[in-house]
Amino acid sequence: MPSEGVSVTALITSNLGNIPLLSRGKVRDLYAIGDALLLVATDRISAFDHVLATGIPGKGKILTQISLFWFDLLSDIVPNHVITAKVREFPAALQPFHEQLEGRSMLVKRANMFPVECVARGHLAGSGWKDYQRTGAVCGIALPTGLEDGSRLPEPLFTPATKSQDGAHDENISYAEIEARIGAAEAAELRRLTLAIYAKAAAHAESRGLILADTKFEFGTVGGKIILADEVLTPDSSRFWDAGAWKPGGAQPSFDKQFVRDYLESIRWNKQAPAPGLPQDVAERTRDKYLEAFHRLTGRHLT
């Protein structure tokens, strides 16, 4: 069982004393640090839109390090919101929390966020597959007949979605709707950036024996310039498949919380609060899958 750089116990909730807490999401806690923000990736894990009672030890560190890898790799396409992820460079008020923050936090720029999720799809999966089954299209984009669950698309698609504010499902919207929400020029630039990032990320993943089936990005503006924000290309926001095992015609094994979903289905949880906890073996197998994704994508060991 991998243990490198991974906590024995899970950090479910960060506690930074008097540092102003702005919000707690499904995974990340957000703090105000003067003109900047502090993103802390906890070890919480969600499934079926509920945060579970059990965390995945080290998950927040793995996700943060994957995001930092991608932010660096993609910096020639679009700037990002990272100021620093080195805790020793954080403001003095954060130094007493060094142990809690190490490896799982980023000091970032405040951005005016666009109210949309920018989704790129290279394969049919998830809500895209369901949409195709119903309509023969994804987000209003007509596709050839005869595609299967997991099929490679003729070309990558930009399929925006609404950004849920209450933990509910994001809803796919058409390109015309995103134009109406943010303006034609901004919509065109977000589509261009999304597809450019996807192309580079998918090529890198392919070089590592992985398929990037789909992913979602969040963008904002700082000083009128568009930047990439939040997390990027982690197993929480992206479907990565083993290229050698890819076989269209059904759901593909992925580098994410599939063990968690399978367990919750096996106990016939009604998907209503309160969410159950996880057995140790399910938590460990899930952590190992996240670690494997980190290794495969970055070629590094977690420190």
Q: What would the mean pLDDT of 154-173 be, rounded to a whole number?
A: 80
8 compared with 283, residue with greater pLDDT:
283
Q: What would the mean pLDDT of 110-116 be, rounded to a whole number?
A: 96
C-alpha 255/C-alpha 253 separation (Å) is 7
> What kind of fold does domain 1-110 have according to CATH?
Phosphorylase Kinase; domain 1 (3.30.200)
Whether pLDDT at 1 is above 60 = no
The sheet carrying 21-24 orders its strands as 21-24, 28-33, 36-41, 105-109, 82-84
Query: What is the value of pTM for the model shown?
Result: 0.93
Q: What is the 3-state secondary structure (H, E, C) of the chain?
A: CCCCCCCCCCCCCCCCCCCCEEEECCCEEEEEECCEEEEEECCCCEECCEECCCCCCCHHHHHHHHHHHHHHHCCCCCCECEEECCHHHCCHHHHHHHHHHCCCEEEEECCEECCEEEEEEEECCHHHHHHHHHHCEECCEECCCCCCCCCEEEEEEECCEECCCCCCCCCECCHHHHHHHHCHHHHHHHHHHHHHHHHHHHHHHHHCCEEEEEEEEEEEEECCEEEEECCCCCCCCEEEEEHHHCCCCCCCCECCCHHHHHHHHHCCCCCCCCCCCCCHHHHHHHHHHHHHHHHHHHCCCCC
Q: What would the mean pLDDT of 135-146 be, rounded to a whole number?
A: 94
**pLDDT reported for residue 165:** 58
Domain boundaries defined on the chain: 1-110, 113-245
Whether pLDDT at 272 is above 70 = yes
**pLDDT reported for residue 2:** 45
Q: Which of 7-11, 97-101, 123-127 has the lowest mean pLDDT?
A: 7-11
**pLDDT reported for residue 171:** 84
Percent of the chain with pLDDT over 70: 95
pLDDT tier at 302 (50, 70, 90 boundaries)? confident
pLDDT tier at 168 (50, 70, 90 boundaries)? low
C-alpha 32/C-alpha 167 separation (Å) is 22
**pLDDT reported for residue 275:** 93
As a whole number, the mean pLDDT across the chain is 93
Q: 1-110 and 113-245 share one CATH topology?
A: no
Superfamily of domain 113-245: ATP-grasp fold, B domain (3.30.470.20)
Q: pLDDT tens digit string along 7-65?
A: 568 999 999 999 999 999 999 999 999 999 999 999 999 998 899 999 999 999 999 99
Q: Which of 89-93, 206-210, 255-259 has the lowest mean pLDDT?
A: 255-259
Residue whose tokens read 């979903």? 261
| Amino acid identity, position 58 | G
Q: What would the mean pLDDT of 194-214 be, rounded to a whole number?
A: 98
Q: What would the mean pLDDT of 63-75 be, rounded to a whole number?
A: 98
Whether pLDDT at 201 is above 70 = yes
pLDDT tier at 164 (50, 70, 90 boundaries)? low
pLDDT tier at 166 (50, 70, 90 boundaries)? low
